[in-house]
A and B are shown apart, each in its own frame.
Chain A
Amino acid sequence: MNSAAEVSAPPRDARSFRRRLIGLIAVGEVGVLAAMALLIAFFWLLEPAFLSERNIRAILNVVSFVGIIAIGQTILLVAGEFDLSVGSVAGLSAVVAAKLMTAAALPVSVGILGGIGVGALIGLLNGLIVVRLGIPAFIQTLGMLFIGQGLIQVVTGGYPVYPLPEAINTIGGTDLAFGLGWSFAFFIVAALFADFVLRRTVLGRNMYATGGNKEVAHLVGINTSAYKIGAFITVGALSAIAGMFVMADLGSGGTSIGSGWELTVIAGVVVGGVSLFGGAGTVAGGVVGILMLKVVQSGLVVIGVNSNWQQIAVGVIMVMAVGLDIVRRRYFIAGA
């Protein structure tokens, strides 16, 4: 004979399905993916041209530039720090590379390596000062933002580096598939690789441990200083690469490359579920967050929202997307 509890409990299949559903909703990126899907559907219903080839291509192209930086910023945030100088680093690396290729008449490959070197070096400097000297990342990287902006003017004398060698214009103008070029290809490969490393390797797990609780991580033998400095170098190098891709795309080493990107990148990855306090978030989530921001900006133009209201709409949608994610975490992760 069955007990009263067994008679009143839902069937095993239903419980298992409910558990699986809650588990799916608890997955980090689901919240922001759901928000993005809703927005895409909304914009498309109002204006089908939103999902036209041209518009999708434009969104993916711009996402590739800031997305490359978002990969590095996500890794750094997971490690428990952040970098406000990414925009300046992108711009400085681009103009240094441009100057090496033009004024210094060095081969394009040397110019590119020089640009990456500048980004990595600034990342190393940021990392050493933050980790060894204990200066808060906010202060150090904000200071580096201003230093970088100044150095851009010093290197260029205030004028854009233009024209660039034909090889750079070729890189920028290459159409690999669907009108997307090398920047998008690099972005996809880098995102997949970084996401795999963070989720599936010891290095990634140690990065989460470093950002989650530095003291405990240190006690179990993780060299937290090395991980943080490594993360700073990574974001510096990736910022440099992003800056040079923009330079190639525009065909000009302009003095405003990267200007204002730092807030866009941080806003995007936070919307994507990466924690500002460290130890949580994924590269996939960060990338989806950036994508969502650009989807919103593009969608508002496509559906014809008055330009005075567009900035307000972007802010409101960002808050709602993060709110949705917080609700998801509170009710579904706890349940799962």
Chain B
Amino acid sequence: MKTHLKKRLIRTALVAAALATSLGSVSLARAADIHLLWVQAMKDHPVHRLMQAGFLNKCKELGYTCEVVGDPSATNWDIPATLPLAEAALARTKYDAIGVYGPDPAIYSYISKLAKEGFPIVTWHVLPPEGTVNGLKAATGENIAEAGTNAAIAIGDKLGGKGTVALTQGASNDTENAMSDAFRKTIAAKYPGIKVLDTQMEGFEPSAAEAKAVAILQGNPDVTAAFGTTGNSIQTWSGAARKAGRDVVIVGMDYIRQNLDLVKSGAAYGIVAQPLYEESAKVAELLGDLAQGKTVPYSNPLPAKVITASDLDPYYKMLDSAGQ
């Protein structure tokens, strides 16, 4: 009897092992079958490149086949030029889910069009309220206003509640506008002794941006801090401060390597660590889950705190792992 029971147990264990192996190989095969597309205007901007690294690395980790398309410009936001390139990729490959970069409502109609064709769509970097974009299944990113508030608190505390802050944006768009607005409101509410200058557009071309920042410093001798809402802002302002011979508390965006180096060297004070890499990796996870028929939460917010010189190591490690 004991022998019979032992044989049954061994048989059951063998069947269970065989089942587990076959299920695993099915899911591996399934992962290899999953094709994901990432659609992003201004595809070659350094910050967008970092996002793409997060997405592609996560795809590699999960065994998905992924592609990035978008207008190949580092300075020009052109959605009409991006869409036909996305269509070209869709004509060639049958994708299972698509990520569409959504900080501009001009892309919403395309999101809806793709959703009507049956593609699950995820966006990142912005969190449109659920239901406002037809067909959007999920969104991930930081709360933009919170990022602006965190920057304001970092600068306000560093200045001791007194001084003048220059404020620049890359361009006038929903994301940067919202961040600037939140920055101003927080400064006005918490640090009434701090004045914030009118917003200037530094653009995305580095030399032109730096020249503009130098002009702001020359025209405003009382400026003691600067906040820029675009990824190049730290380079813009640190270069400008050096050229103008001024000591300026600088907070900017995005933990690309040049920016981390500038904070490490003391040329800038802090970085609003928008979760560029993390949100992009999250896009790959969400798209993969949707492609496999799973349900995902709509809103997937991530934190965006201000990091300073003592906080940089984990970000360097992330960039190293991304090959950036």
6 contacts between A and B (CB under 8 A): A50-B91, A55-B87, A251-B106, A251-B109, A301-B88, A302-B91
Instruction: Name the 8 nearest CB pairs between A and B, nearest first.
Output: A158-B172, A58-B87, A55-B91, A250-B106, A58-B84, A252-B106, A49-B92, A301-B88
Beta-carbon contact of A59 and B80 below 8 Å: no
**B42-91 with Cβ < 8 A to chain A:** 43-44, 68-69, 72-73, 76-81, 83-85, 87-91
Interface residues on A, range: 35 or more
CA distance A47 to B77 in the complex (A): 29
| Interface residue B130 (Cβ < 8 Å from any Cβ of A) | no
Q: Which of B79, B80, B107 has the most CB of A within 10 A?
A: B80
Which residues of A approach B to under 8 Å, CB–CB? Answer: 47, 49-50, 52, 54-55, 57-59, 61-62, 65, 153, 156, 158-160, 162-163, 169, 172-173, 246, 249-252, 254-257, 259-260, 294, 297-299, 301-302, 304, 307, 310-311
Which residue from chain B places its CB closest to the CB of A65 in the assembled complex? B80
Q: A311: which B residues are within 8 A, CB to CB?
A: 72
Q: Are A307 and B89 in contact (CB under 8 A)?
A: no
Min CB distance, A92 to chain B, in Å?
Answer: 14
Contact present for A297 and B84 (CB under 8 Å): yes
Q: Does B108 sit at the interface, judged by CB under 8 A? A: yes
Question: Hey, which chain A residues are within 8 Å of B77, CB to CB?
Answer: 256, 259
- Which B residues are CB-close (under 8 A) to A249? 80, 109
Residues in B with CB closer than 8 Å to A254 are 79, 104-106
- Measured CB to CB, the closest approach of chain B to A175, in angstroms, equals 11
A58: chain B residues within 8 A (beta carbon): 83-84, 87-88, 91
Residue B164, interface by CB 8 Å: no
Pick the contact of B78 from A54, A159, A259 — CB < 8 Å? Answer: A259
Residue B173 interfacial (CB < 8 Å): yes
Which of B68, B79, B91, B104 gathers most chain A CB within 10 Å? B91
A256 engages B79 (CB within 8 Å): yes
Given contacts A159-B174, A160-B106, A311-B72, contact A52 B78 (CB under 8 A): no
Q: How far is the CA of A249 from the CA of B82 in the complex (A)?
A: 13
Besides A62-B80, A252-B104, A301-B92, 16 new A-B residue pairs in contact (Cβ under 8 A), listed by A number: A50-B92, A54-B91, A58-B87, A58-B88, A158-B173, A160-B105, A162-B106, A173-B109, A252-B108, A256-B171, A260-B76, A301-B85, A304-B92, A307-B43, A307-B68, A310-B72
Q: Which B residue's beta carbon lies closest to that of A161?
A: B105
Asked whether B69 lies within 8 Å of A301 as measured between CB atoms, the reply is yes
Whether A255 contacts B173 by the Cβ 8 Å rule is: yes
Q: Which of B21-39 contact A (CB under 8 A)?
A: none
Distance from A165 Cβ to chain B, minimum over Cβ atoms (Å): 14
B173, chain A: closest CB distance, angstroms: 7
